[in-house]
Homo-oligomer: A and B are copies of this chain.
C-alpha cells in the first residue's frame, strides 16, 4: 500500500506542477487587441466543439456502461458487472477530463506564444512547451491516479483485482475512439474545405482572414492534434499499465505485489523525469538555437533520467537486473521510432526527396511514389517491433524467473511509455505554435515576427510527426501486451495452463480475416467522413463568398457559421466508423467465440499497426515534399512540381491526421474491449 501512496503523491505533485505551468502561461502577455480577437474566436470554437462532442460521447458512454452491466448481469456475474461498469465510467470520465484540461490550456497558450514571438523566439518556445506540458502531465497523472485509486477501491487483491479494473482501460479507449475520430475529422475537413475554396477557387493565401473557414481550420489543430492525441496516449498509458499488471499476476509467486505495481511506480518516475526534462528547455538557450535542438535536449534528459529511474525501480521492486535491460529495450525502441519517422518524413533523406523528384512528372507520379514510401515504412518498423519483442522476451527469460519472458515484454512497454508525458508535451507544442502562427498571420504582424514564428511552426510539424511515430510504436507494444493479457485471462477462465489456438480451425481463420477487414473498412470510413464533412464547409464558404465584400476585405466573414457546420458534420460523421469499430468485434466474439477472437485480435492489431504506419508516414512525407519544394527546390512555389506536390499533401491530410491516428486508437480499443468481454466469449 505504501507503493500506491507513493504513486498517488507523485501524481498529485505532477498535477500541482502542471498547475504552476498553467499559471505561468496564463500570466504571460497576451499581445494586442487584434491577436486577442483571433485567439478568442479560436477558443470559442474549440470550446463549443468540445462541449458538444463530450455531451454526445457522455451519452454514448452511459449507454455502453448500462449494456456492459446488463450483459454481465444476464450471465449471472453481479460482481464483475458493477466493477466493470464503474471502472468503465471512471476511465471515460478521467480521459475526458484530461482532454478538456489540455484543450483549455492550449487554446490559451497559443495567444501567449504568439505575443511572445513578437519579441523573441525563446520565450515563445518555452510558453508553448509548458502549455503542452500541462496536457502531458495531466494526462499521465490522471491515468496513473485513476488506475491506482480504482485498484485500491476494488480491494487491491493482487490476484483478482487486476482483472476487475480492465473496464477502466476500456472506458479510456472508448473516449479516445470518439475524441480522435471526431477531432481528426474536424481538423482535416476544415483544412481541406478551407483550402479547396480559399486557395484553389478564390485564390487567397492560407490563413487569410477573408476565408470564412480559417478559424475552423485553426480550431481543428487543437481538437485533432491536442485533444485527439491526448486521449490516444491516455488510453495507451491506462491500457499498458493494466495489461502489465495482469501479466504481473502470473508472477505473483515471485514478485508479490511489487510485480503488479511496478508499471505504475515506473510511470510515476516517468512523470518526475518529464518535469526535469521540461526545465531543461530554457528561454535563454532556446532563443539562440534551432527550436528542435532545444526540444530534443529536453527529450534526451527525460529519456536518460527514465533509464536511471528504471534501473533503480527494477533493483528496488524486482531485484533483478535483467528486467532493467528489458526496459532499456523499450526506451531504445522509442528512440528508434522517433528517428525512423524522421528519416521517412524529413526532406533531408531519400524518401521525401524521391517524392519531390516524382512531382516533376505530375500529381500521378507524386501520389504513386508517396504511397510506395508509406508502404515501405512498414518494413523497418515491423522488424524493430519484432526485434524489441523477441529481445525483451529473451531478457525476461534470462532473468531466471519462470514465465519471466512475457513480463520482459511488459517491462519493455513500461520503458517505452516512461517518456510519454514529455512526448505529449512536445506533441501539444505543435498545435500551439501552429495556432500562434495563424494568429500572427491573421493579425498582420511584422515580417520579422512572422519569420520567427514560422520557424517554430516548422518545428511543431516535426514534433507532431515524431509523436505519431512514437504513438504507433507504443500502441504496437501495448497491443501485444493486451493481447497476451487476453490470452492469460482466457487461460484463467478456461482453467488451462495456456491457451493454444488451432489456427487451422475455420472460425479462427475467418475471425482473423474479419480482423484485417475491420482495419481496412474503418480506415475507409474515416477517410470518407473527412470528404463528406469538407463538402458541408465548401458549400458554406461558397455561400458566404457570394457577398463580394468578404473577398474585398470590407465585410467580416461569419467564422462562427463555419465552425458550427464543421462541428455538426464531424460529430455526425464519426458515428458510423465508431459504431463499426465496436460492433464488429462484439459480433465476432459472440458468434465465433474466444479462439476466433484471438485470431481477430492478433490480425487486427498487426494490420492496424502497419496500416497506421502507411497512412501516417505517407501523409507526413507528402506534406514535407511540398514544403521542400516551397522552400525553393525543383522550381519552388508555383512550379508544376509544386502543383503536383499540393495534390499529394491534400491526399495525405486525411491519411495522417484522421485515419492513421484513429487506427492507433482502434487497435487498443479492440484489445481492451475483448479483455472486458472475454468472460462472455467462452
Known A378-B521, A513-B385: A371·B527 in contact at CB below 8 Å: yes
CA distance A504 to B498 in the complex (A): 9
CA distance A488 to B505 in the complex (A): 11
Asked if A582 is at the interface of the complex by the 8 Å CB criterion, the answer is no
Among B409, B501, B647, point to the contact of A506 (Cβ < 8 A): B409
Among B382, B506, B524, point to the contact of A516 (Cβ < 8 A): B382
Known A362-B200, A382-B516, A651-B368: A503·B602 in contact at CB below 8 Å: yes
Asked if A629 is at the interface of the complex by the 8 Å CB criterion, the answer is no
Question: Is B386's CB under 8 angstroms from A513's CB?
Answer: yes
Question: Is B520's CB under 8 angstroms from A196's CB?
Answer: no
Minimum C-beta distance from A175 to chain B (A): 25
CA distance A368 to B383 in the complex (A): 29
Question: Is A513's CB under 8 angstroms from B368's CB?
Answer: no
Question: Is B509's CB under 8 angstroms from A389's CB?
Answer: yes
Known A378-B517, A379-B521, A531-B369: A361·B512 in contact at CB below 8 Å: no
Chain A contributes a number of interface residues (CB within 8 A of B) equal to 76
Known A379-B521, A602-B503: A362·B498 in contact at CB below 8 Å: no
Question: Is A531's CB under 8 angstroms from B602's CB?
Answer: no
Known A483-B509, A513-B382: A531·B368 in contact at CB below 8 Å: yes
Question: Is B372's CB under 8 angstroms from A506's CB?
Answer: no
A363-376 toward B: CB 8 Å interface, digit per residue (1/0)?
11101110111111
Residues of B within 8 A of A673 (CB): none
Question: Is B602's CB under 8 angstroms from A512's CB?
Answer: yes
Question: Is A520's CB under 8 angstroms from B365's CB?
Answer: no
Residues of B within 8 A of A498 (CB): 502, 504
Asked if A514 is at the interface of the complex by the 8 Å CB criterion, the answer is yes
Question: Is B517's CB under 8 angstroms from A368's CB?
Answer: no
Asked if A599 is at the interface of the complex by the 8 Å CB criterion, the answer is yes
Asked if A610 is at the interface of the complex by the 8 Å CB criterion, the answer is yes
Interface-central residue, A372, A525, A538, A609, by most chain B CB under 10 Å: A372
A189-217 toward B: CB 8 Å interface, digit per residue (1/0)?
00010001000100000000000000000
Asked if A35 is at the interface of the complex by the 8 Å CB criterion, the answer is no
**Contacts A/B (CB < 8 Å), 14 sampled:** A196-B361, A364-B649, A368-B527, A368-B530, A368-B654, A369-B531, A376-B525, A378-B517, A383-B514, A393-B506, A499-B504, A501-B503, A603-B603, A607-B607
